[in-house]
Structure 1
Amino acid sequence: MPSAVGETAEQSAVKRKRQEIGDKSKKRRKSVGGNDDDNDKLSQIQTLESEILESRKHYNNIVLLIEIAGQKTGDLETPLTAAESLCRVFVQLLASGSLVKKKDVSEKDATVIAWLRERYGAYKEVLLSMLQDKALGFKALTLAMALLKVEAQHLEGKDESTFPQVFFRDIVGALLQSPVEQLRQEFYDTFVAEYDDIRFYTFQGIADFLTDRDHLASEDVRNKVFGMLLRIDDIPGSSEELTDFYIDAPQKKKHPLYSLAQHKKQAQEAWLAFINLGLSKEQRKKILEIMAISIAPWFAKPELFMDFLTDCYNTGGSISLLALSGVFYLIQERNLDYPDFYKKLYSLLDADILHSKYRSRFIRLLDTFLGSSHLPAVLVASFIKRLARLALNAPPSAIAVIIPWFYNLFKKHPLCTFMMHRVPRSKEEKDLIETEGVVDPFLPDELDPMATNALESCLWEIVQLQSHYHPNIATIAKIISEQFTKQSYNLEDFLDHSYGSLLEAEMIKNIRKPPVVEYMIPKKIFTKVGPASVPEEKDSLLVSLWDFESS
């Protein structure tokens, strides 16, 4: 029967194949009578697959399977079954070299090969679209990665495997746009965290994805990219550790996959591409929080973060606290020159520092910065005095770590101990203090820690803390007034304290003698008990107070 006007031979063949399959299905339904539509579709898919593998004349069945796999219906089993069948078909075609164009191939075979490669591309597009669906995405990811491995081995027709960068870049792009967060986690756990080449090309795929601004119009997509970058934090220690490959290891020993510097370069380009897009406040905080641990070590040139970190450090508030570790990393690892570092560090000691949720991180860094015995005693004394003044309004959990840290600083900087034992030198000086009091020479508003006169002051604030309402804090504060027989305190034992931990410690404490609150329980609280002739029954303290005020 002649084809319709404008209809290609391929379309006519597809229509004839559909009609043949439909006739066979009708016959099966008539003969069996009990099969439902789902079983009929699955058997149809199996028939199409077996016919493709039997003979080249049934290649048009590939088009039908692609259409079935791409159907958007409530039935999930049918498209998944079709996708699995296509995967087996193309794996066999790739392995047999049916998609590789050879030099001496005939024009007819070349046309067939070109047609198969187009169908192969259409099938990959179907798999990528499935990654956007929660029910189909996990199976589609497995099929796509299996196909990636076979394609690397056979599609180019070479003896050595070649990583299919274009297909993998499309997979990464589809995952970054997928609404299924668990799918990205599965991709990381199964492939990125396990294989060095997958991690290498994932960074490359993210960088390529970020160059297309159309993808990044949505803030949601940018958050997904950020989440994927944050997951990749397992940094190899050396090039010798780069041995786990998903695709066959390259034969060339100078291949970029064997170079740790090249891995860092890919990570650096991906991170810089994301940061250059502009960061939200939460993203900036998260990057600063893990900068020295998970991001800067990935960079071949961490000094590229110099302007970013110094700007954040000069911002103030919690941003400065978080940027502190990154600035210190560059100072330590890349010799960053920051002349006013201690002056800026001193400015961070404000009224909110001991109430911040980043307090423990800050104190750890502060202990590192002031730990050197080569620092001037005047500088160290300024930090001690400033924090002692702030401790008067600090929560108990903060005071519990500050005072042991003071103890350690006094052991490292003996010249600062004059702040603890400053007593009147003469009787006239003592009489003057008793009659007129004393003015603390410390200058709390001075911005330069070298000019605060802290070393001429004394730690009267710690003496006040020895009468703190919390008994544990009062006990800890007394260590400054006792002999320094202990070498040092381990700050980690005090950093995790909070209101909850302090309260729990009090609740589980063994009380030897219960405290006496009141020796007699009153019968009435707001009114008088009775006539005054009954001496053993007394009014409550509240009633007694009212009588006192009214008299």
Structure 2
Amino acid sequence: MPGSTLEASLKRKRREAPEDSKKRRKSSSPETDETDIDDTEQSRILLLEKSILESKKNYNNIVTLIEILANREENANAAIVAAVALCRVFVRLLAQGNLSKKKDASEKDKTVTRWLRDRLVEYKRSIVAALAEEDTASTALTLSMRVLKAEAEHMHGNAEYYFPGAFLAEIITALIQTVADQNVRNEFVEKFANSYDDLRFYTFKTIREIIIRSNTSLSEESLDNLFNILAAIDRAPTSKDGLENFYVEAPKQKSHSLFSLSQHKKQAQEAWLTFLRLGLTKDQKKKILSIMSTSVAPWFTKPELLMDFLTDCYNSGGSISLLALSGVFYLIQERNLDYPSFYTKLYSLLDADILHSKHRSRFFRLLDTFLASSHLPAVLVASFIKRLSRLALNAPPSAIVAIVPWIYNLMRKHPLCTFMMHRVPRTQEERDELENEGLEDPFVPGEPDPMETGAIDSCLWEIVQLQSHYHPNVATIAKIISEQFTKQFYNLEDFLDHSYGSLLDAEMTKEIKKAPVIEYMIPKRIFYPAESGSGERESLLVELWDFGPQ
């Protein structure tokens, strides 16, 4: 408790009064006159700090400073000054070894050491609590990390290396509380976790321990804050030589885990895996999947450990499946993981909803990447072309204008699929059957396996139908399939972000080269019949109205 004085710990009967304390300070510094000292709280705090560093007899002033810090709601400015002063005091005491346990120390010195340690605990508790307050959060973070560094360097005892992980756990626990400001979390990551290799190492380790210790009792907001910290630590080291920037003096033994690249990645991997095993919400899964290939997977030494999470998301359907595509493909392409049913699952995602989804542009970008390889079977590629062509019949115009160029580009990469555009009856028997009975499309839309749909034997009659679409832009762009392929490729980015609004704006702002054909006679009346004997022709609306009652 802040009121626990050093004299009480030493069991002294005499207790020093404030007046005596002032007299001793004046006598110990005869050149300082009381009238020369500013009568402000800041001057008083600085004087208390100075007296503590001058003599052990003034250690009780530490209690006074802690009390000022604890009453920060009454005087926030004084509390900040007291916090800074106490930080300087404890850093100096730690450097002097006054808080280190010594075997040959007397019982009195041991009691003083224990008392100082208790006061340090109180001080750390106060500045950690200040992390939750917007006005003091940044200062409290800086002071906390300064004390952490001093503890690591001067309280290791006989051990060669010591890192105060328990104090770091208190800091991170305070940062993930909902009352903590996002700015201070960003400051922690940018100034410390991303800047120093040892702090990044122990931050990952501490986050994993916090999650395990909480036993899934963390609130949704705390999980979001935890995710923000994990996601922001995205600078994965690429070589062992890069592990040289340490916040605390590095251990002398080069065999220490801090010098091991695999150990650094292992700590990050374990932290992410522990987080992924929590009961995450749909929105939290979306956030993770959106950074999977850029900020999560690079930390994993065993990327196959991500497959369970990605597969579950991939199989859940909807937008989560769409977002999981990138992570799964990254593991297949970059880490050589085998996922035999990838294209089967990708094919199953092609439904009417995907063309109306807000993630449609992202999906087409990914789809263009997944089918870019010229080594894919033409039968497989033809199924995707045919499936999207069929869906285009009921798709919005903004989706169709992206589907047709995508099909064009895909046929340029896979020439065998061009037979789907020029499939005509070859024999007289086929021509007679087409004329008399029509032709049944061999494509099987309900077949889940893209290798068995029969799309390669079909034709793109759907695109021909789109050439008569009501929207002029759609009708125009659909005609490129029936023309010669003189263009190498279309830039898909020019078509992906269209919407009803953008198509309408393009039509409204388009320069008219030829005036449209209109009626040569403008009717004088639209809703009412013409006067008898005027010779005017009745409008279509009037004719329909007269026809209705009959």
Fold conserved between structures, TM > 0.5: yes
8 Å Cα contact 1:176/1:225 also seen in 2:
yes
Alignment partner, residue 3 of structure 1: none
Q: Aligned in 2, Cα 1:385/1:212: closer, same or farther, shift over 3 Å?
A: same
Structure 1 residue 75: deviation in Å?
2.5
Alignment partner, residue 347 of structure 2: 346
8 Å Cα contact 1:168/1:205 also seen in 2:
yes
Rounded to whole Å, the distance in 2 between the matches of 1:532 and 1:245 is: 99
- The C-alpha deviation readout for 1:32-51, integer Å capped at 9, x for no partner, is 9xx9xxx6433432332222
Alignment partner, residue 169 of structure 1: 169
8 Å Cα contact 1:14/1:64 also seen in 2:
no
Rounded to whole Å, the distance in 2 between the matches of 1:46 and 1:74 is: 19
Rounded to whole Å, the distance in 1 between the matches of 2:54 and 2:438 is: 105
- The C-alpha deviation readout for 1:325-379, integer Å capped at 9, x for no partner, is 2222332344433333332222222221222233233333333333333333222
Alignment partner, residue 253 of structure 2: 252
Rounded to whole Å, the distance in 1 between the matches of 2:524 and 2:41 is: 85
Matched, 1:408 2:431: no
Alignment partner, residue 65 of structure 1: 65
8 Å Cα contact 2:72/2:78 also seen in 1:
no
Structure 1 residue 511: deviation in Å?
2.6
1:417-432 superposed matches below 5 A:
417-426=418-427, 429-432=430-433
Structure 1 residue 424: deviation in Å?
2.5
Q: Aligned in 2, Cα 1:69/1:541: closer, same or farther, shift over 3 Å?
A: same
Percent sequence identity is 61
Q: Aligned in 2, Cα 1:234/1:369: closer, same or farther, shift over 3 Å?
A: same
Alignment partner, residue 379 of structure 1: 380
8 Å Cα contact 2:95/2:150 also seen in 1:
yes
8 Å Cα contact 1:94/1:155 also seen in 2:
yes
Aligned to 2:136, what secondary structure does the other structure show?
helix
8 Å Cα contact 1:97/1:157 also seen in 2:
no
Structure 1 residue 17: deviation in Å?
4.1
Alignment partner, residue 392 of structure 1: 393
Alignment partner, residue 468 of structure 1: 469
Rounded to whole Å, the distance in 1 between the matches of 2:516 and 2:455 is: 42
Structure 1 residue 64: deviation in Å?
1.3
Rounded to whole Å, the distance in 2 between the matches of 1:196 and 1:121 is: 26
TM-score of the superposition, structure 2-length normalised? 0.87
Structure 1 residue 21: deviation in Å?
6.8
Alignment partner, residue 298 of structure 2: 297
- The C-alpha deviation readout for 1:160-185, integer Å capped at 9, x for no partner, is 77433222222112212251222212
Q: Aligned in 2, Cα 1:518/1:138: closer, same or farther, shift over 3 Å?
A: farther
8 Å Cα contact 2:52/2:58 also seen in 1:
yes
Structure 1 residue 147: deviation in Å?
2.0
8 Å Cα contact 1:66/1:123 also seen in 2:
yes
1:265-304 superposed matches below 5 A:
265-304=266-305
8 Å Cα contact 1:443/1:453 also seen in 2:
yes
Structure 1 residue 110: deviation in Å?
2.9
8 Å Cα contact 1:384/1:406 also seen in 2:
yes
8 Å Cα contact 2:216/2:278 also seen in 1:
no
Alignment partner, residue 491 of structure 2: 490
Structure 2 residue identity aligned to 1:91? V
8 Å Cα contact 1:17/1:61 also seen in 2:
no
Alignment partner, residue 481 of structure 2: 480
8 Å Cα contact 1:268/1:300 also seen in 2:
yes
Bigger mean CA deviation after superposition, 298-307 or 500-509:
500-509
Rounded to whole Å, the distance in 2 between the matches of 1:40 and 1:21 is: 18
Aligned to 1:99, what secondary structure does the other structure show?
coil
Rounded to whole Å, the distance in 2 between the matches of 1:363 and 1:490 is: 12
Alignment partner, residue 78 of structure 1: 78
Structure 1 residue 533: deviation in Å?
4.4
Alignment partner, residue 360 of structure 2: 359
Structure 1 residue 150: deviation in Å?
2.8
Rounded to whole Å, the distance in 2 between the matches of 1:286 and 1:518 is: 57
Rounded to whole Å, the distance in 2 between the matches of 1:17 and 1:176 is: 43
Rounded to whole Å, the distance in 2 between the matches of 1:515 and 1:233 is: 57
Aligned to 2:375, what secondary structure does the other structure show?
coil
Bigger mean CA deviation after superposition, 496-505 or 178-187:
496-505
Q: Aligned in 2, Cα 1:63/1:523: closer, same or farther, shift over 3 Å?
A: farther
Alignment partner, residue 206 of structure 2: 205
8 Å Cα contact 2:69/2:83 also seen in 1:
yes
Structure 1 residue identity aligned to 2:249? D
Alignment partner, residue 238 of structure 1: 239
Q: Aligned in 2, Cα 1:131/1:73: closer, same or farther, shift over 3 Å?
A: same
Alignment partner, residue 130 of structure 1: 130
8 Å Cα contact 1:154/1:161 also seen in 2:
no
8 Å Cα contact 2:265/2:300 also seen in 1:
yes
Q: Aligned in 2, Cα 1:390/1:267: closer, same or farther, shift over 3 Å?
A: same
1:155-166 superposed matches below 5 A:
155-156=155-156, 162-166=162-166
8 Å Cα contact 2:66/2:123 also seen in 1:
yes
Q: Aligned in 2, Cα 1:304/1:215: closer, same or farther, shift over 3 Å?
A: closer
- The C-alpha deviation readout for 1:479-500, integer Å capped at 9, x for no partner, is 1111122233333333333334
Aligned to 1:113, what secondary structure does the other structure show?
helix
1:509-520 superposed matches below 5 A:
509-515=510-516
Rounded to whole Å, the distance in 2 between the matches of 1:518 and 1:76 is: 80
- The number of residues matched between the two structures is 533
Aligned to 1:237, what secondary structure does the other structure show?
coil
Q: Aligned in 2, Cα 1:320/1:178: closer, same or farther, shift over 3 Å?
A: closer
- The C-alpha deviation readout for 1:11-36, integer Å capped at 9, x for no partner, is 98896344657999xxxxxx99xx9x
TM-score of the superposition, structure 1-length normalised? 0.87
Structure 1 residue 520: deviation in Å?
6.0
Matched, 1:109 2:109: yes
Unaligned regions of 5+ residues in structure 2, if any? 1-6, 25-33
Q: Aligned in 2, Cα 1:138/1:516: closer, same or farther, shift over 3 Å?
A: farther
Structure 2 residue identity aligned to 1:289? S
Structure 1 residue identity aligned to 2:391? L
Structure 1 residue 388: deviation in Å?
0.5
Structure 1 residue 295: deviation in Å?
1.1
Rounded to whole Å, the distance in 1 between the matches of 2:239 and 2:522 is: 74
Structure 1 residue 69: deviation in Å?
0.6
1:519-534 superposed matches below 5 A:
525-528=526-529, 531-534=531-534
8 Å Cα contact 2:9/2:111 also seen in 1:
no
- The C-alpha deviation readout for 1:449-485, integer Å capped at 9, x for no partner, is 2222212211000101112223222222111111122
8 Å Cα contact 1:399/1:473 also seen in 2:
yes
8 Å Cα contact 1:151/1:164 also seen in 2:
yes
Structure 2 residue identity aligned to 1:415? L
8 Å Cα contact 1:130/1:136 also seen in 2:
yes
Q: Aligned in 2, Cα 1:332/1:502: closer, same or farther, shift over 3 Å?
A: same
1:34-73 superposed matches below 5 A:
40-71=40-71, 73=73
Aligned to 1:274, what secondary structure does the other structure show?
helix
Structure 1 residue 303: deviation in Å?
0.8
Structure 2 residue identity aligned to 1:130? A
Rounded to whole Å, the distance in 1 between the matches of 2:532 and 2:517 is: 26
